[in-house]
């Protein structure tokens, strides 16, 4: 910045002030540039923080959804396994002699151990399952109770067992169909148990 020389042509006030004006203008421009850069940096940092927060929230929700789905599927699998155990127990009781010395102990063991395993699995479906799965699982539970009650009354023949087991088998198939539909699996035309494809024999 150059000021008017002494001894030269008299300078007006405007000439004396012009260098100062240019200096001030440059300072303002510099300040605006710095201020603009800072604003941009602040906005970029804020956007990054918001992006991280939203990403974590999304990941948390996705992880929660995956956890619930895994728990739901695991409860369905557990109930299917428990059904097989309970069904086999009912068959053992049905063909055992109720007058034998071992019969009472066998029934007691089943009631204490196997039935607890079944009810734990059923409770898990009630905790994590969909309304449709809970409904078919509850119907399956009722069918198993009836099967166990009938099995404990008298010694079954092959014909008796072939008749009385059908409702429980059908209830299990309904549970499977409900779960497959919920998981988006296509329907199947076959039956899990062969004897459920035919009408149930009349009990009268």
pTM of the model: 0.66
Q: Which two tokens stand for residue 190?
A: 């076959």
What pLDDT does residue 132 have?
95
Higher-scoring residue by pLDDT: 142, 47: 142
* Average pLDDT score over the chain: 81
C-beta pairs of 101-110 under 8 Å, 24+ apart in sequence:
107/152
pLDDT > 90 in the chain, percent: 46
Read off the pLDDT of each residue in 1-8 and give the average, rounded to a whole number: 51
Rg (alpha carbons) of the chain, rounded to whole number:
40
What pLDDT does residue 153 have?
87
Measure Cα distances from 72 to 4, 127, 136, 142, 174 in Å: 88, 8, 14, 21, 17
pLDDT, tens digit, 9 for 90 and up, residues 143-172: 999 999 999 888 999 999 999 999 999 999
Which one-letter DSSP state was computed for residue 191? -
């Amino acid at each position: 910045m150059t000021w008017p020389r002494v001894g030269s042509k008299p300078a007006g006030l405007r000439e004396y002030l012009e260098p100062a004006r240019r200096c001030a203008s440059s300072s303002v421009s510099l300040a605006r540039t710095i201020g603009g850069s800072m604003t941009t940096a602040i906005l970029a940092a804020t956007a990054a923080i918001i992006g991280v927060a939203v990403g974590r929230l999304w990941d948390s929700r996705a992880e929660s959804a995956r956890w619930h789905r895994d728990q739901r599927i695991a409860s369905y699998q557990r109930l299917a396994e428990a059904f097989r155990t309970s069904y086999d127990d009912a068959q053992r009781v049905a063909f055992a002699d109720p007058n034998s010395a071992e019969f009472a102990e066998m029934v007691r063991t089943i009631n204490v151990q196997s039935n607890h395993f079944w009810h734990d699995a059923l409770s898990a479906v009630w905790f994590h399952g969909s309304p449709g799965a809970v409904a078919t699982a509850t119907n399956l539970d009722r069918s198993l109770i009836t099967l166990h009650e009938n099995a404990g009354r008298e010694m079954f023949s092959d014909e008796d067992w072939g008749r009385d087991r059908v409702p429980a088998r059908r209830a299990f198939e309904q549970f499977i169909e409900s779960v497959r539909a919920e998981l988006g699996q296509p329907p199947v035309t076959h039956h899990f148990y062969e004897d459920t494809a035919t009408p149930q024999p009349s009990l009268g």
